[in-house]
Amino acid sequence: MILMGIYDFHILSTTDQANEVWTNGTYLCSKSNGLKKYNLYALGNFYVEMLYDPRSNEIKKIKSFRTDKLLKPYLSQIKLTFK
C-alpha cells in the first residue's frame, strides 16, 4: 500500500480527506476544548487533526501538518506501544 503525501492530501475534498484518514490513518489521541473535540491521526509522514463538533455530529475542520509545534498539545496524551 502506498500512502499519499501531505501535498496530495491537501488537494482532496474534505470528505475525501476524512475517508483517507479513517481508511489509512492511525488514531493517536483526542483532546477537548469546551464542546469541541480534536482527534489526532498519523498518516504516512504527517499528522492530521480533525475538529469534530458532537452537537452537529460533523467534522468542522481538517488540518494536516508535520511541525512539532502543532504536535505539542497532544504529546502528554499519546501512548506508544511496541510490538
Q: What is the pLDDT of residues 19-45, one digit of tens each?
A: 999 999 999 988 888 888 999 999 989
pLDDT over 80 (residue 77) = no
- Find the DSSP H helices in the chain: 6-10, 14-24, 68-71
Task: Map out the domains of the chain as residue ranges.
Answer: 6-74
Give the confidence band of 65 by pLDDT, cuts at 50, 70, 90: very high
pLDDT over 80 (residue 80) = no
Q: What is the CATH number of domain 6-74?
A: 3.30.67
Residue with cell 491537501: 10
Q: What are phi and psi of 77, to 5 degrees?
A: -100, -15
State mean pLDDT over 67-73. Answer: 82
State mean pLDDT over 47-60. Answer: 91
